[in-house]
Amino acid sequence: MAQSEEELPESQEDSIVSSEDEELKANPFIPNAKAYWCPSCKAHHDYDYSCFTSGSGGNRSTTETYSCKVCKSTMFNPAQTLPWMYGLTGFGVILLAIGLLIGLAKGEFDFKDGGPEVILILFSIFPLLIGGMMIHYMRKWLAWSSTQKKKSAEELEQEAVNAPSAAGGDSGEKTEA
């Protein structure tokens, strides 16, 4: 009778390889406004998501952070940032304009007693700073995405091959025993 029935097919290795392939399909160097982008690496790398909830009761606020797995920088999502960028910048500009108009109408900026014109100007600083920061990152993103769009599929492929990988461990530094 057959004596080799105990030999089982070695299927373990195959399953490990095939699960990795799925994730590698998306090239992190192809611009996607809806995906998180790392401004330091200039790539859509994998991210570590973390979420902090502070405060209690109705004043609870949640801070979500997406940090690049390669360089640990905070990543940003162009599609999600755009409405905030316009909103905050517009809001800041309106506050600043009203503050300046009141000040000009009164003929003075009452910094000592904190008149409404001064309060409005002070309140405009914060949204303008955040909005300005968003504009800064958005410009970086737009510059990068327009550069990437000019590249051929082969060039993008090559870029993905040369880039540092978040997966790690397979850098070829194996010691031969």
42 binds Zn ion (CB under 5 A): no
Toward Zn ion, which CB reaches closer, 40 or 165?
A: 40
What's the min distance (Å) between Cβ of 100 and Zn ion? Answer: 40
CB of 18 to Zn ion, least distance (A): 27
Please tell me whether residue 71 binds Zn ion under the rule CB under 5 A: yes
**Residue choice 30, 31, 42, 70 for contact with Zn ion (CB under 5 A):** 70
Q: Which of 27, 40, 77, 89 binds Zn ion (CB under 5 A)?
A: 40
CB of 73 to Zn ion, least distance (A): 5
In degrees to the nearest 10, what's the CA dihedral of 95, 96, 98, 103?
140
Dist. CA 79–CA 36, nearest whole Å = 9
- Residue 9, classed as helix, strand or coil, is coil
Q: Measured from the CB of residue 144, what is the shortest distance to Zn ion in angstroms?
A: 13
CB neighbourhood size of 19 (10 A): 9
How far does the chain reach from its first CA to its final CA, in angstroms?
A: 41
DSSP-H helix ranges across 78-115: 78-106
> Applying CB under 5 A, which residues contact Zn ion?
38, 40-41, 68, 70-71, 73
